[in-house]
Amino acid sequence: MTSELAMAKSVAAEAGQLLVSIRQAAGDIPSDDKAALKALRDRADAESNELITARLTLADGDALLSEEGVDDENRLAAQRVWIVDPLDGTWEYGQGRTDFGVHIALWDMARKRMLLGVVDLPAQGVVRTSGDLDPELPMLPADRPLRIVASRTRPPADLAAICERLAQRVGQDVEVVNVGSVGAKVNEILSGRAEAYLHDTGFYEWDLAAPLAVAKHYGLVCDHWDGDEVDFNLMPPFVKNVFVSHPGIADDLRASLAG
């Protein structure tokens, strides 16, 4: 997979720089100018998708599933499926924030496993891949509360209670931080600024595929809230929820999910 991972990393980086340049060229857009912000986001999504689609080299038997592409059910019979999000964290991108990214992943249908994943966070200058050498998780913090990353717009409804139960179990304060792109959320954990990510209202495979591949490579616990493995290349391509945690708190966090 070395050559395909290198290709995916290069394509994601090129798409990421395109997104940055499009945003810079747009200049400052007032937060209340919804039409201009929508036009910026739509253009960035479309042009990033066009670049990725043109640059990715698909082998015989491969299919492509992209947020911005037309979904074709023939992908269900493919041997492998490239799962792409040309711009994850679209809202944050339009707001001029740095927590947006490009996701590229490759799923093996026969073996039911992710072959590679690339998360490029161009505004942060960070790239995470499933092939990073010597992946190492940060130690659990002793000088601050544990942190759970959640969606800014769709956090779990019971998140405050989950944090309270976790704090009681581990004897340490727990707080919530809000981050945009799923790739940026996972990077918060890998960078030692958070310890877990919870999402319970469902989202699409392209949001999660590459970040999950990277998270597993680094040793995070990644599955559904009930412990079931996350499957991909479904019809529709929808993931019901996700549980991502530093292994040092995974058991306590899982036990804290239920009241």
What is the distance between the alpha carbons of residues 95 and 14, in angstroms, rounded to a whole number? 21
Q: What angle do CA 253, 254, 259 make, to 5 degrees?
A: 95
Burial of 212 (0-12, 13-18, 19+ CB in 10 A): buried
pLDDT for position 116: 98
- Residue 57 phi/psi, 5° resolution? -100, 110
pLDDT for position 72: 85
What would the CATH number be for the domain defined by 146-256?
3.40.190.80
Q: Which of 253, 80, 47 is nearest to 170 (CA)?
A: 253
What would the CATH number be for the domain defined by 2-129?
3.30.540.10
- The pairing of beta strand 80-88 with beta strand 101-108: antiparallel
- Where do the CATH 3.40.190.80 domains begin and end in the chain? 146-256
- Where do the CATH 3.30.540.10 domains begin and end in the chain? 2-129
Please report, as a single letter, which amino acid is at residue 42: D
Q: Is the peptide bond before 236 cis (omega within 30 degrees of 0)?
A: yes
pLDDT for position 2: 86
Neighbours of 37 (CB within 10 A): 19
Q: Which of 157, 236, 156, 245 is nearest to 204 (CA)?
A: 236
Please report, as a single letter, which amino acid is at residue 84: V
List the chain residues with pLDDT less than 50.
none
